[in-house]
Amino acid sequence: MKKQRESQAHSFDFERAKKMAVHYNRSTGANCQIIDATGQVMFRTDTENVCVVCQEVQAICGDSSFCRRYRRDGAYYARHYGGKYIFLCPMGLVNWASPITVEGVLAGAFLSGSYLMTKPNDKLVEASLKKQGVNMEQAAQLIGCLENAVPIDTDRVTSLSEMLFLMACHISDIAHLKQVDNERHQKSISSISEYIHHLKKSDVAEGK
């Protein structure tokens, strides 16, 4: 009965999505979360090994006021940009998301990350925290926690993002694949058009 309610609430195969998140975590060592369309975390791997920075952020700022918004936005941008989106959270940590869609509507997303890919700009992080109502003392405490963030290189992030994308395609319905294919087709046409335009400009410049 519980599984039936979960399936109805998420409108996709939630149990299968959880199994895929666990396999992703076991095979790559990277964490994985399943969120709903509002950014609420419905499932996460590594519940006992949550990022130190994230723990401090949630303790000081509260999950709903800080992290939930960037998770939600990450999912929507991932859908907008063809199924993959790599971004920095307000603390300057890298995350990547891929949307789960049903009948063209965002139902949730796979999300992974909160790793240190580049050294964050303390001033930008401080300004971001200030917008969340964090005082200077708390901001300094959070910025200090960044030293304990787990590092990751760019190539690995790209590969892990690609894996999340494949997982999301597997969980989403066929409409998702059609949308992705259509977007890639449009991008391909756009690239060809730009190339032809470039050739024509070159011919004009050469007086042909």
List, for residues 134-184, the tens digit of each pLDDT value.
888 888 888 888 888 889 999 999 999 999 999 999 898 755 455 555 554
Summary mean pLDDT of the chain: 79
Supply the pLDDT for residue 145. 86
As given in the structure block, the two tokens for residue 115 are 């790793």
Predicted local distance difference test score (pLDDT) of residue 95 = 95
Calculate mean pLDDT across residues 75-104. 90
pLDDT of residue 179: 55
Question: From CA 78, how far away is CA 72, in angstroms rounded?
Answer: 10
Q: Over 50: is that where the pLDDT of 193 sits?
A: no
Cα separation, 88 vs 74, in Å, equals 9
For residue 38, what is the DSSP state? Answer: T
Average confidence (pLDDT) over 113-134:
84
Who's near 21: CB < 8 A, 6+ residues apart?
32, 33, 34, 43, 44, 45, 110, 167
The answer to whether residues 88 and 152 touch, using CB atoms and an 8 Å cutoff, is no
Dist CA 108 CA 162 (whole Å):
17
Q: How far apart are alpha carbons 101 and 48 in whole angstroms?
A: 29
Residue-wise pLDDT tens digits, 3-42:
433 444 458 899 999 999 999 999 999 999 999 999 999 9
pTM for the model: 0.77
pLDDT category of residue 104 using cuts at 50, 70 and 90: confident
DSSP letter string, 157-198? HHHHHHHHHHHHHHHS-HHHHHHHHHHHHHHHHHHHHHHHHH
Tell me the pLDDT band of 190, cut-offs 50, 70 and 90. very low
> What pLDDT, on the 0 to 100 scale, is given for residue 60?
75
Q: How many CA atoms lie within 13 A of 188 on its CB side?
A: 6
Which segments of 81-173 does DSSP mark as H helices, in order? 122-131, 136-145, 154-171
Give the list of residues 6+ apart from residue 37 with CB closer than 8 angstroms, or none: 72, 75, 106, 107, 108
CB 110 within 8 A of CB 164: yes
Please give the pLDDT value at position 122: 86
Q: What is the mean pLDDT of residues 103-116?
A: 92
Beta bridge partners of 33: 44, 111
**What is the structure's pLDDT at 154?**
93
